[in-house]
Amino acid sequence: MPRKKKLALGEHTFYIPAGYTPQIMDFVCKTSVIEDKKLYLVKVLAFVDNLYVRVKHAKKIKAGVSIKRIHYLLGLDNSDCTLLLNLLQEHKIIFCDKSKFVAGKIPYSYGFVPLTEKMPGFERITVKKKDIRKSTMKAICRPNTIENEDNKLYYDEVISKLEITGINLSDFEILAGYEDILGKEENPQKSSKKSKNNNYHFPPIHYSGGCVPETENRVNTIFFNQKADGGCVPDEKTDENRLLYSGGCVPDGFITVTKVTDDKLLPLFRIHDKRFFCRPSYKHKDGRVYTNVTNFPKKFRKHLSIDGKRFIGIDIRNCQPLLAAILFMNYSMQVYGELKEDIVEYKRQCEDCTFYEYFMGINKIDQSEENRQTFKGKFFGECFYSKNAAEDKRKELSIQFQQKYPTCYEALVNYKGKYEYSPEYKQVPITLQAVEKSIIFGTNIELVKAGIKCFNIFDSLFFTSMDDLGKAREILVKKFSVWNIKPGFKIEDYTKDIDSGVSDAENRDENTNDYIDSPDEPAVIIEPESVEYTDNQIWEQLKEEYWYVPEDERKQTIDRVRELLKLQAAEELS
């Protein structure tokens, strides 16, 4: 007897910009060179999904795409990859920018052609794995892990087990709004062992605001009932949140389309739908490792969990300037044979966590957390990560940095290539990221190997228990001590109770599906000189940030902070 074919179970979800589903379906329908429409549709969705996610993460309108990357993603040969890109451009779904192309180094960049009517958010398209060839699903569903045992362990033990809790994502899904009148197959090809193609006929797809009348001579069609306000609702046979494409070019119920109006929710949906990834930097071998949590919005971190437990984070304060201190000290020793006074002062300010505050003060910038985050980006953009500009074109922050730390500025100029507008200026961020990866990600892997489930977001590490956090702190202190640096730490606690769902008036706008920005969870910043162990004294330090905690629940918060204080006190004594 022939072996029974095993079908892949479950679903795979793609994400594309809102409003592009009709164009993609129409493109696949009308392209005569495509034989297996169903298979090609999946490959097109996989490419568009990949481009959309990369564009969103980079916060740009385009991203570099190489033929090698498409071949890896879709399993197409080079000529088919080129054909796919050309067809998508002909149908005005994507555009190509060749302005920065460098053969063998920088590929063409692609982005999405703007729609006539811009739509917010993204569309979530789900396909059933059992309807697609096993080899195709294996290619597009692979987790994109690194060919490295350490990073594979990190993915298998931590990233792939992350969950979203405390928020009901289905509340943010709505009908996509496409009334696709797809009839049965016209002259369907009979099943034959000799043929592997499904030659479906794709009727054109139209977007309409009207309702679909019920007709007797059309099969596998979704019918709608008209509401008093002229809108459409699905009948009782269809899912209230999902619109099923039926009949015609695609098998009945083959794909499902919903719309999410807030694109900030994309990282949450990717974890919810098990779309995990773990990859190195595309540009630099020793660069950062990117995962689902790398660009995860801070306001949603309280919804991350593993094994039902939420996370506590430890963040190295002034981390990037602190890492730069290592470069400056090496430069000073190599050139001058000693540590110059301004470099010692620079290191001290970074350890005391007052580096940014000094420059914010002389520029008369209010030192709120929001202003601080904005200033950090501006400072690094104008000083650390910029090219060596001509003297008369330098930015004000760059001049102020030179005046305060002349040897540090001299080291920066040399690391950037010495000359004005040298292309080697990128060596500073590349080197800092390599050092950061060695210390932070190295610590992460060390802890994962010890059986501790944790992950890092750049220079922060997240754990499910205070004991694990304490172990990480000890390792980090030991690693920084090699350069005689004493880092400062900030604790971010996301373990406090949260509402189940986001339907409360305080979290959702009653007229939209947008998640209202709530203040970030306050971080507990512990200064060694202010350590107090009595309940009243601890609460005096916390009450301004934790004023909303009910009196009968304060004890739990105080006890948690007391454990942090004990850890820090033990470190001070050692």
Token pair of 563 as six digits: 């454990």
d(CA 56, CA 33): 31
- pLDDT of 98 above 80: yes
Which 8-state DSSP code applies to residue 381? I
**Res. 71 pLDDT band, cuts 50 70 90:** confident
d(CA 355, CA 67): 44
- For the chain, give the number of residues: 574
Q: Among 43-47, 192-196, 253-257, 271-275, where is mean pLDDT lowest?
A: 192-196
| Segment 389-407 mean pLDDT | 85
Helices (H), 144-287: 149-157, 266-272
- pLDDT of 483 above 50: yes
Token pair of 175 as six digits: 């009908």
Region of residue 306 (phi > 0: left; psi between -120 and 50: alpha; otherwise: beta): beta
**Res. 145 pLDDT band, cuts 50 70 90:** low
Residue 220, pLDDT score: 27
Residue 395, pLDDT score: 84
Token pair of 35 as six digits: 């034989």
Q: Where do we find the tokens 């059986």? A: 451
Beta strands per DSSP E along 143-295: 162-164, 173-175, 224-226, 232-234, 243-244, 255-260, 278-280, 289-291
* φ, ψ at 390 (rounded to 5°): -65, 155
Which 8-state DSSP code applies to residue 372? H
d(CA 215, CA 223): 9
Residue bearing the bigger pLDDT, 509 or 359? 359
**Res. 384 pLDDT band, cuts 50 70 90:** confident
- pLDDT of 211 above 60: no
| Segment 239-254 mean pLDDT | 45
**Res. 287 pLDDT band, cuts 50 70 90:** confident
**Res. 408 pLDDT band, cuts 50 70 90:** very high
**Res. 27 pLDDT band, cuts 50 70 90:** confident
Residue 216, pLDDT score: 31
Provide the β-strand partners of residue 290: 279
| Segment 475-479 mean pLDDT | 93
Q: Among 215-219, 315-319, 330-334, where is mean pLDDT lowest?
A: 215-219
d(CA 423, CA 387): 8
Residue 119, pLDDT score: 83
Q: What angle do CA 265, 279, 470 make, to 5 degrees?
A: 80
- pLDDT of 15 above 70: yes
3-class DSSP state of 428 = helix
> Distance of CA 72 to CAs 68, 137, 138, 364, Å?
6, 13, 12, 51
| Segment 188-206 mean pLDDT | 33
Residue 332, pLDDT score: 93
7-11, 223-227, 244-248, 310-314, range with greatest mean pLDDT: 310-314
| Segment 149-154 mean pLDDT | 84
* φ, ψ at 199 (rounded to 5°): -85, 75
| Segment 254-283 mean pLDDT | 86
Q: What is the value of pTM for the model shown?
A: 0.72
3-class DSSP state of 339 = coil
| Segment 119-128 mean pLDDT | 88
Q: Amino acid identity of 512?
A: T
**Res. 6 pLDDT band, cuts 50 70 90:** low
d(CA 436, CA 458): 8
Q: Helices 427-436 and 406-415: crossing angle, nearest 10°?
A: 100
Residue spans of the domains in the chain: they are: 11-306, 311-474
Whose CA is closest to 384, among 428, 354, 432? 428
- pLDDT of 187 above 60: no
Q: Is the dihedral of CA 217, 222, 223, 226 positive or negative?
A: negative
Which 8-state DSSP code applies to residue 95? E
Looking at the chain, the number of H-run helices and the number of E-run strands are 18, 18
Region of residue 91 (phi > 0: left; psi between -120 and 50: alpha; otherwise: beta): alpha
| Segment 309-333 mean pLDDT | 92
The HSE-up count of residue 426 (CA atoms within 13 Å, CB side) is 4
Q: Where do we find the tokens 């001590």? A: 481
| Segment 252-270 mean pLDDT | 84
Q: Is the dihedral of CA 409, 459, 362, 486 positive or negative?
A: negative
Provide the β-strand partners of residue 13: 126
Residue 267, pLDDT score: 92
Contact 479, 493 (CB under 8 A): no
Q: Amino acid identity of 549?
A: V
d(CA 127, CA 264): 23
**Res. 440 pLDDT band, cuts 50 70 90:** very high
CB neighbour list of residue 152: distance below 8 Å, 6 or more residues apart: 145, 146
Residue 282, pLDDT score: 66
Other Cβ atoms within 10 Å of 74 Cβ, number: 21
- pLDDT of 244 above 70: no
Q: H/E element holding 492?
A: strand 489-493
Each residue's pLDDT tens digit, 517-572 = 333 333 333 333 334 457 776 666 665 555 555 666 677 677 766 776 666 665 55
Whose CA is closest to 239, among 191, 303, 174? 174
Which 8-state DSSP code applies to residue 522? P
3-class DSSP state of 466 = helix
The rounded mean pLDDT for the chain is 74
Contact 151, 278 (CB under 8 A): yes
Contact 174, 259 (CB under 8 A): yes
Contact 158, 150 (CB under 8 A): no
Q: Is 133 exposed, middle or buried (0-12, 13-18, 19+ CB in 10 A)?
A: middle
- pLDDT of 407 above 90: yes
Residue bearing the bigger pLDDT, 68 or 162? 162
- pLDDT of 255 above 50: yes
d(CA 502, CA 515): 8
- pLDDT of 426 above 50: yes
Whose CA is closest to 21, among 133, 172, 164, 177? 177
- pLDDT of 296 above 80: yes
d(CA 274, CA 134): 18
Residue 201, pLDDT score: 32
Residue bearing the bigger pLDDT, 225 or 139? 139
| Segment 430-448 mean pLDDT | 91
